[in-house]
Amino acid sequence: MENANQAQNAHIHVLVLPYPSQGRINPMLQFSKRLAHKGIKPTLSPTFCFSKMMDTTAISTHYGPTINVRPISDGFDDGGFIQAGSISAYLDGLKTFGPKTLAQLIEKLAEEGDPVKAIIYDGLFPWALDVARKFGLSGVLFFPESCSVSSVYYHVHCGLIKVPLMGLSPTTVSIPGVPELQPSEAPSFVANGSHPEWLAWLLRQFSDVDKVDWVLCSVFYDMEKEVVDWMTKMGWKIRTIGPTIPSYYIDKKIQDDKDYSFQRFKPITTLCKNWLDSNPKNSVVYMSFGSLAKLSEQQFKELACGIRNTHQSFLWVVRELEQAKLPKEFIDETSGQGLVVGWTSQLEVLSHEAIGCFVTHCGFNSILEALSIGVPVVGVPQCFDQGTNAKFVEDVWRVGVRAKVDEKGVVKREVLEECIREVMEGEKKEEFRKNADKWNRLAKEAMSEGGTSYKNIDEFVAFLGKC
Ligand code: UDP
């Protein structure tokens, strides 16, 4: 039956437009693989600069059509964001060149006899809907972050939350389906008014949220059911299709889908695996702050002393360019206790039985992975949506704690040490682990036959079939 459906969908070609960063591309690439598994033909369209980093023109799915990579331009084809030099220059380039080169790509694909039916776009490309409409295509908005965060932005867009929160009254965010958020728990652009250009850009996606054909999000329903229900009541055609992590870690339905097929940096895998293999079950602290966060030297020092003082085994990802910020003696001093690497395969690490907890900046992919794989968390959020994700870790999903910062915004060594002890050895240790196991089960159920995401993906595929 599945094969018959796959053949039936083979003529359906969709363009998938991810924003060029590891964290935003992963969910859309995984969703593309799900579509390919159903026989749909997705083409991934990152920016030129990012596609050069991906170093491929096609991603093999092992089970059918490859996912072709056909880039568009942000105006900075050699160096992307870095070449642009500033946020506003980058966003201007994206606005000028993005729609133009997207339209050219759509025309080109039609000339090649492979016309597209729909564009699935990251909300950071709000102009994609206009291009889709110009060509009579369906437009699908994709949220690669939590629905609660998207709802906060929506309320700012509507003027119902004033920015910055800090210094205003009330200083908290109180919106339907989301627990009350203190400023430190709200997205940083909203809390402190930083980077107004980014915020304005993020808000634009909501101008058309009730006009798009679908809104898809990378979570699974149980994670955020209240806010998803509220969005549905608002009339948005929203569907949860996650967790958007490789099938191997969830339903094992897609053969060989074990990684994101793209790594921003070269992962050190064997060394990490050997290190984890040499440690007992649930004993290792895994620490990583994702692909973008730049921590201060002071923060590195506190984290280094904190993790050392726990005497727990650890695996710490510190990107190569950040490693100079580690205290000089740290790596030698802790050589028997832990391992520092520049990048790893996070999914492999999280799913290793030696892992006891994940100290994370709470980037949304990292959180989705921790919940789906079932790993307790210590949240050390830095910026963007991470404070909101940390709030959910502690108060909604209840899989761990959030480390508090001092008046300078630094997590002190004693605080980190205490948080790790609480999650690894404290009174609530069992509760965190039990909850982590529950989210792992719910994630699997959502993606398995009859589950919420499974049904939503099928509904979406059926829609594409009628486009
Ligand atoms: N990641 C990885 N290896 C590492 C660190 C991170 O593969 O050593 C992956 C991780 O699995 C996640 C992504 O990089 O999918 C980071 O995304 P996230 O949203 O957590 O954070 P961002 O990098 O966007 O801040």
Q: How far is the CA of 198 from the centre of ligand 1 (A)?
A: 21
Tokens of 395: 């108060």
Q: How far is the CA of 366 from the centre of ligand 1 (A)?
A: 6
Question: Which atom of ligand 1 is the closest one to the Cα of 319?
Answer: 8
Q: How far is the CA of 361 from the centre of ligand 1 (A)?
A: 10
Q: How far is the CA of 338 from the centre of ligand 1 (A)?
A: 20
Phi, psi dihedrals of residue 121, rounded to the nearest 5°? -125, 145
What is residue 460's predicted lDDT score, i.e. its pLDDT? 98
Determine which residue's CA is closest to atom 15 belonging to ligand 1: 365
* 33/38 Cα distance (integer angstroms): 9
Spell out a b/e string for 348-365, using b for 16 or more CB atoms within 10 Å of the CB, else e: bbbbbebbbbbbbbbbbb
Q: Could you tell me which of 391, 367, 403 has the C-alpha nearest to residue 182?
A: 391
In the three-class reduction of DSSP (H, G, I as helix; E, B as strand; rest coil), residue 261 is classed as coil
Question: Which atom of ligand 1 is the closest one to the Cα of 347?
Answer: 11
CB proximity list for 280: less than 8 A, separation 6 or greater: 354
In the three-class reduction of DSSP (H, G, I as helix; E, B as strand; rest coil), residue 284 is classed as strand
Q: How far is the CA of 85 from the centre of ligand 1 (A)?
A: 24
Determine which residue's CA is closest to atom 2 belonging to ligand 1: 346
The answer to whether 72 and 47 have CB atoms below 8 angstroms apart is yes
Question: Which atom of ligand 1 is the closest one to the Cα of 369?
Answer: 11
* 314/117 Cα distance (integer angstroms): 48
* 98/145 Cα distance (integer angstroms): 22
* 91/125 Cα distance (integer angstroms): 10
Which of left, alpha, beta for 31 (phi over 0: left; psi -120 to 50: alpha)?
Answer: alpha
Q: How far is the CA of 365 from the centre of ligand 1 (A)?
A: 6
Determine which residue's CA is closest to atom 11 belonging to ligand 1: 346
CB proximity list for 39: less than 8 A, separation 6 or greater: 5, 6, 7, 8, 9, 10, 12, 64, 65
Residues with a CB atom less than 6 Å from ligand 1: 21-23, 26, 263, 288, 290-293, 317, 343-347, 363-366, 369
Q: How far is the CA of 367 from the centre of ligand 1 (A)?
A: 10
Determine which residue's CA is closest to atom 17 belonging to ligand 1: 23
Spell out a b/e string for 151-179, using b for 16 or more CB atoms within 10 Å of the CB, else e: bbbbbbbeeebebbbeeeeeeebebebbe
| Polymer length in residues for the chain | 467
Question: Which atom of ligand 1 is the closest one to the Cα of 245?
Answer: 15
Cα dihedral 253/447/242/262 (nearest 10): -10
Per-residue pLDDT of the chain (467 residues; tens, 9 = 90+): 466 667 778 789 999 999 999 899 999 999 999 999 999 999 999 999 988 888 788 887 766 668 999 999 999 999 999 999 998 999 999 999 999 999 999 999 999 999 999 999 999 999 999 999 999 999 999 999 999 999 999 999 999 999 999 877 778 999 999 999 999 999 999 999 999 999 999 999 999 999 999 999 999 999 999 999 999 999 999 999 999 999 999 999 888 899 998 888 999 999 999 999 999 999 999 999 999 999 999 999 999 999 999 999 999 999 999 999 999 999 999 999 999 999 999 999 999 999 999 999 999 999 999 999 999 999 999 999 999 999 999 999 999 999 999 999 999 999 999 999 999 999 999 999 999 999 999 999 999 999 999 999 999 999 999 98
Tokens of 461: 């595929």
Q: How far is the CA of 171 from the centre of ligand 1 (A)?
A: 31
Mutational pocket test of ligand 1: of 19, 21, 22, the residue with most ligand atoms within 8 Å of the beta carbon: 22
Question: Which atom of ligand 1 is the closest one to the Cα of 344?
Answer: 8
What is residue 63's predicted lDDT score, i.e. its pLDDT? 63
Amino acid at 165: L
Element (H, E) at 43: strand 41-44
The answer to whether 118 and 191 have CB atoms below 8 angstroms apart is no
Mutational pocket test of ligand 1: of 361, 366, 375, 385, the residue with most ligand atoms within 8 Å of the beta carbon: 366
Q: How far is the CA of 89 from the centre of ligand 1 (A)?
A: 26
Mutational pocket test of ligand 1: of 291, 364, 371, 380, the residue with most ligand atoms within 8 Å of the beta carbon: 291
Tokens of 350: 């999280």
CB proximity list for 100: less than 8 A, separation 6 or greater: 73
Q: How far is the CA of 16 from the centre of ligand 1 (A)?
A: 20
Please state which CATH class domain 2-261+450-466 belongs to.
alpha beta
What is residue 62's predicted lDDT score, i.e. its pLDDT? 66
What is residue 169's predicted lDDT score, i.e. its pLDDT? 73
CB atoms within 10 A of CB 369: 25
The answer to whether 355 and 286 have CB atoms below 8 angstroms apart is yes
Q: Could you tell me which of 443, 463, 438, 462 has the C-alpha nearest to residue 453?
A: 443
Residue listed under structure tokens 């967790």: 243
What is residue 1's predicted lDDT score, i.e. its pLDDT? 47
- What is the separation of C-alpha 278 from the centre of its chain, rounded to a whole number of angstroms? 30
Which of left, alpha, beta for 384 (phi over 0: left; psi -120 to 50: alpha)?
Answer: left
Map out the domains of the chain as residue ranges: 2-261+450-466, 269-442
Determine which residue's CA is closest to atom 13 belonging to ligand 1: 23
Q: How far is the CA of 319 from the centre of ligand 1 (A)?
A: 11
Determine which residue's CA is closest to atom 9 belonging to ligand 1: 346
* 305/320 Cα distance (integer angstroms): 20
Furthest C-alpha separation in the chain: 64
* 217/91 Cα distance (integer angstroms): 23
* 40/14 Cα distance (integer angstroms): 8
The string of pLDDT tens digits covering residues 383-425 is 999 999 999 999 999 999 999 999 999 999 999 999 999 999 9
Q: How far is the CA of 383 from the centre of ligand 1 (A)?
A: 15
Tell me if 2-261+450-466 shares its fold with 269-442: yes
Please state which CATH class domain 269-442 belongs to.
alpha beta
Terminal-to-terminal C-alpha distance of the chain: 22
Tokens of 364: 């949304």
Determine which residue's CA is closest to atom 14 belonging to ligand 1: 290
Cis geometry, peptide bond prior to residue 42 (ω within 30 degrees of 0): no
466, with CB counted inside 10 A (0-12, 13-18, 19+), is exposed
DSSP label of 390: H
Question: Which atom of ligand 1 is the closest one to the Cα of 290?
Answer: 23
What is residue 215's predicted lDDT score, i.e. its pLDDT? 98
What is residue 113's predicted lDDT score, i.e. its pLDDT? 96
Handedness of CA 343, 344, 346, 349 (dihedral sign): negative
* 120/27 Cα distance (integer angstroms): 12
What is residue 3's predicted lDDT score, i.e. its pLDDT? 62
